[in-house]
Structure 1
């Protein structure tokens, strides 16, 4: 008998257990992946303020490119999960092979986007030449890493769709050790190597990504579980690539909208100097680290929901979504409590510079509100993608995050309305620069608008899909 996974959950309790069973390895794997950024930020922060500022700017550019391309590839998750729920196993292997082709094509697009960092840095005003040089070198290293990084995301998407998240988790955990070692060697210049600062962090990332993709291919070839899918790359297939792109392009657009909100925020905040940039980078890194829990729950809940849809069980799909949202909200509140109570030691772990630390502590005053709405938006977005809905959510996020958060933030922070929210920033984020604080305030408001609108759309879609079979039955 073919091993196609665990039996579908038949109750609320079983659904919650399945979400947590699939969610915790995704969470650990995401934390392990995020540890790369934490290591880079912390280790360059202790190297010099110049290296930390270069990291903040270079990572903003790289993450914009990488996350947008990753969003396109993550279309494989709902597509393969629906095939898995419907037991169309050969289609999973075909879809994965085409996703590999897509990842290679996207790596060319991403590499070209990172090849000219001065275009991105034009938003940041007069960037110190030393910082600019390190940004350029860091991105050059990551162009080399990009093909491996994107192929690895297809392995991540495949394993998420078929409820095997522990595979990627273990590879990511192994990657932490390699990353810490390579960072130590290349950032600080150990054993006679030159001290490369931020450029060394980029070199270590490139090495770890290629090691990770090598390990993942080895697992796919050796583990008997994957034989049932007939995994193959084959020739590019227009139909399958078209399906991936129809769902993936708006998904990538949503990812890009969200990440560019932070990218351009970092580039704008750079106008307030190195210390504001460093404090903002610590805040952004913590926000990203906290985001891993709702991301993991959103990925696992979305995959299980898509499996239910693929098996023709809309009631189970809606129950899975409800359970995931409940767990995600509880997890967000727990995360907020931990960060607030430990904010002092957390900031000290990131930097030994007192001025950077003051800025970071001030900005953390907004983290609780931001994270709560960010969690809700993330969970709801993945649930809508399970129903293969991506265009509507992308438009909602564009209007809220770009229109209210980014444009409105620029207007009130650095544009004609600069300083209008200075009093509110001083109350909510004491010690934070007015510009950076205003940007985070508007980003939080925009996230609230986006999450509430996505919730409205999701519940309408879930109710309509559940009512569909009942209505059809009543007419027979």
Structure 2
């Protein structure tokens, strides 16, 4: 049975964080490989299928990430119970989380059944593309309950420091995804080729297989059996606790993913080559984000365990150790982004004009990534203390107000061009509009990080006083 780490120096906290973080990182990369497989394999069918999958996937990802954030409220709740050795309550909380995941899948699935409301934002879409999007999203709507319930298992394993088994399930699912993609997209084994719709059907099959593996895992492994995991009748009091924490967490996840989506839509005004360069930078930033995210998530679960154990000193040591690790990792990643810009861009594209734009835009990547990493660390630390509403408000003000709206205002709106001197200094040769959007997005993340760390210091003082009284 895994136990929370003992009170110790920073070195011990760092070792514990890294032990739990690397399986989370590999699981995250496995999720990215799913998307890469779909894009690469559907890309060898027709342009109609590729467009259908690209538009359908953007709709699904927006919905899924928001709902996933709500389910992730289980992590601090279960981790605090686990740290306090309230194993029966930890198991009960997971069962209530399963009900929440099922309720959310009904809402999300119903939304996926009406894609025209989403496609109205994309202008004129060919009727054949619309038809394939509808079938693609229908398959994903059927996959959503399995995906969200498996996320509850993922949250449970993270909360009790049992991340390796979930990692193995996610890695193994890549092979099945490749197999079923070939069968349903290209028509292997005599099955009719279905293109983009086949990619959705493959996700449906693999999602339910992954859930079956996760359920088998929690019934067999001693660390999970000790929690007496059962899905009992839903209780409104428990659902309310999950929603009180989960809704603002889901809102935070949604703001982050929507900010990138709207940036891409605005920068598309600058033409095909700028849009291509922007896509390379956005994809690279997403890949780099997985490292601070995995460290931050590991830090948050271990911090929540310490809070549950009423060990304020260990909670603070773990939290600050995690911040140090994120900062060091972000600095190392930034150095790679500076030194390897040419090889990175050549790995993405052979188109000279896209490569020139990407190289120019990539100059902001080290700064953006560092701000992004520190924002991630601060947000996850606050969630460990079950603080989510204030971070959401701060993110709305800084990320949306400063980053997105400010970027539009100075990049494409009434103030267009006013940030040109900064853009020319920081990103020489980059299109001014796109450069302005990325500079303001980095500024929004930096401001959010500062505000969240300030609030974290306040939470530390209040928690220490509360635990001392208790």
Return the TM-score normalized by structure 2: 0.90
Moved more, 14-23 or 356-365: 356-365
Task: Tell me how far 1:282 sits from its aligned partner.
Answer: 3.1
Moved more, 419-428 or 70-79: 419-428
1:79 aligns with one of 67, 77, 80: 77
Q: Where does residue 459 of structure 2 map in the other structure?
A: 461
1: CA distance, partners of 2:198 / 2:309: 48
2:319 aligns with one of 321, 327, 351: 321
- Indicate conservation of the 8 Å contact 1:96/1:158, yes or no: yes
Q: Where does residue 304 of structure 1 map in the other structure?
A: 302
1:404 aligns with one of 385, 398, 402: 402
Task: Tell me how far 1:170 sits from its aligned partner.
Answer: 0.6
Going from structure 1 to structure 2, the CA distance change for 1:431 and 1:186 (only over 3 Å counts) comes to farther
1: CA distance, partners of 2:28 / 2:251: 21
Q: Where does residue 178 of structure 1 map in the other structure?
A: 176
1: CA distance, partners of 2:408 / 2:118: 16
1: CA distance, partners of 2:255 / 2:373: 16
Q: Tell me the SS of whatever aligns to 1:415.
A: coil
1: CA distance, partners of 2:228 / 2:73: 20
1: CA distance, partners of 2:424 / 2:195: 34
1: CA distance, partners of 2:47 / 2:334: 28
Q: Where does residue 168 of structure 1 map in the other structure?
A: 166
Q: Where does residue 283 of structure 1 map in the other structure?
A: 281
Task: Tell me how far 1:23 sits from its aligned partner.
Answer: 1.1
- The within-5 A match list for 1:54-203 is 56-126=54-124, 135-187=133-185, 198-203=196-201
Task: Tell me how far 1:88 sits from its aligned partner.
Answer: 0.5
2: CA distance, partners of 1:194 / 1:266: 35
Q: Tell me the SS of whatever aligns to 2:387.
A: coil
Moved more, 304-313 or 32-41: 32-41
Task: Tell me how far 1:204 sits from its aligned partner.
Answer: 2.9
Aligned residues: 470
- Indicate conservation of the 8 Å contact 2:5/2:16, yes or no: no
Q: Tell me the SS of whatever aligns to 1:219.
A: helix
2: CA distance, partners of 1:305 / 1:132: 46
**Coordinate RMSD, CA, aligned:** 2.8
Spell out, residue by residue over 1:29-66, the C-alpha distance to the aligned partner (whole angstroms, 9 max, x if none). Answer: 11222222333345556767776665554443222211
Q: Where does residue 13 of structure 1 map in the other structure?
A: 11
Going from structure 1 to structure 2, the CA distance change for 1:376 and 1:222 (only over 3 Å counts) comes to same
Task: Tell me how far 1:325 sits from its aligned partner.
Answer: 0.2
- Indicate conservation of the 8 Å contact 1:381/1:454, yes or no: yes
Q: Where does residue 438 of structure 1 map in the other structure?
A: 436
Moved more, 187-196 or 23-32: 187-196
Return the TM-score normalized by structure 1: 0.89
Task: Tell me how far 1:274 sits from its aligned partner.
Answer: 5.0
- Indicate conservation of the 8 Å contact 1:73/1:154, yes or no: yes
Task: Tell me how far 1:283 sits from its aligned partner.
Answer: 2.5
